[in-house]
Amino acid sequence: MKLICDGLDLSDAVLKVSKALPAKTPNPVLEGIKIKAEGDKLIITATDTELTITKSIKADVLMEGEAVVVGRYFMDFVKKLEKEQVELSRLYDGQLQIKYSDSESELQVYPVESYPVVKKDNDENFFEIKGEELKDVVEKTVLACSTDDSRPILKGVLMEANGDELTAVSLDGFRMSVVKKEIKGSGAFKAIIPARTLNELVRLIEKDDETVSVRLQKNTLFAVIDDTEIYSRLIEGEFVKYSHIIPTGFENSLTVNKDALLSSLERATIVAKNDRYNVVKFEIKEGVMTVSAKSEVGYVTENVPITLSGKDVTIAFNGKYLTEYLRIVKDSHVSLNLNSPIDPCILTPVGKDDFIYLVLPVRING
């Protein structure tokens, strides 16, 4: 193997794929980054077997071949070569030689035959979505994914597609997010995609208007963004029947300015975060909602103007769950819909049903 490439392109590609390197692994070869010279490209890959990221860059390939180089050392080294033309050569003694300017270095390599092989199957269901739209879906759902290893199925986002509509759902036992988007797709499918995979996928999106192609093949996700590919195992199992959780009617509905409520909640949660459950209480009456919180460090109470349809009610929530929702809503006003202090509350942007956020209340005394 022998090739010449731009140092900045190499460094950028290695940094991107390195997100798939495992933090710890009993298999040393997984600590490596695979580089493959083929045609007029250098193909760079990293994997922990659950997540694989591959990126291609232009290269002057003098001899095709491949090598698996020690990942983090290679990443740190090429980061210092961003202003150089870099020549990479696989030596006969197994080392990888790196030449730049009038200097050279050598790095250890792993056996290529021990590196995992990713198989692509192109005849399964797929959909295409603009980068900006996918970012929006991920931002609105990943926040409600569980981080509890005891319920691994909730550590992902359920994605259901039927024709030109995608529904994404996440929940952690305390809140749930349901997002709908238009897509270009083929067939109907259902898959649970790990939150980590989705976070890494959107980090690879460089332009909001670029198309992301997502293909589901058996128990694997395969996504393409320009010259970058990402593969991930799907989470297997039966997801919660989320439609049964959403109430079908409400006794009380209020409309509030999103920024006004968010500002009030952010101040209240400063006090509430000293409490185990971050409890913030809402006393809802016609024309006004009193937001309050208290803990060992102090007390806060504020009035926020609202428009109420229904009766007076007092209810409490984990303030963190509401502030996280309000920070990602782009609309100026939101609706809070509820029945009683112990029933789920549904939040939506006013007049829209493409982003439903359900939060369970916290029981309070008095």
pLDDT of residue 218: 78
Contact 352, 331 (CB under 8 A): yes
For residues 327 and 310, give the distance between their C-alpha atoms in angstroms, rounded to a whole number.
27
Contact 329, 349 (CB under 8 A): yes
For residues 229 and 245, give the distance between their C-alpha atoms in angstroms, rounded to a whole number.
36
In single-letter form, the type of residue at position 166 comes to L
* pLDDT tens digits, 18-63: 999 998 889 999 999 999 999 999 999 999 999 999 999 999 999 9
Residues of the chain with pLDDT under 50: none
Structure tokens of 163? 């024709």
For residues 219 and 216, give the distance between their C-alpha atoms in angstroms, rounded to a whole number.
7
In single-letter form, the type of residue at position 205 comes to I
Closest CA to 236 of 199, 196, 194, 202: 194
Closest CA to 281 of 273, 271, 292: 292
Q: What are phi and psi of 311, to 5 degrees?
A: -110, 170
Delimit the domains of the chain by residue range. 2-114, 126-243, 249-359
Closest CA to 20 of 56, 44, 52: 52
pLDDT of residue 126: 83
CATH assignment of 249-359? 3.10.150.10
For residues 312 and 305, give the distance between their C-alpha atoms in angstroms, rounded to a whole number.
14
Burial class (CB in 10 A: 0-12, 13-18, 19+), 19: middle
For residues 215 and 195, give the distance between their C-alpha atoms in angstroms, rounded to a whole number.
17
Closest CA to 109 of 129, 127, 130, 88: 88
pLDDT of residue 172: 95
CATH value of 2-114 in 3.40.630.30, 3.30.1330.40, 3.10.150.10, 3.90.190.10: 3.10.150.10
Fold equal for 126-243 and 249-359: yes
Burial class (CB in 10 A: 0-12, 13-18, 19+), 78: buried
pLDDT of residue 178: 98
pLDDT of residue 291: 97
Long-range contact set of residues 25-33: C-beta below 8 Å, sequence gap at least 24:
28/110, 29/68, 29/110, 29/111, 29/114, 29/115, 30/116, 31/70, 31/71, 31/72, 31/110, 32/68, 32/69, 32/70, 32/71, 32/109, 32/110, 32/115, 33/68, 33/69, 33/71, 33/74, 33/75
Closest CA to 76 of 2, 4, 21: 21
pLDDT of residue 188: 80
Please state which CATH class domain 126-243 belongs to. alpha beta
Provide CB contacts within 8 A for 189, sequence distance 6+.
124, 125, 160, 161, 216
For residues 88 and 35, give the distance between their C-alpha atoms in angstroms, rounded to a whole number.
10
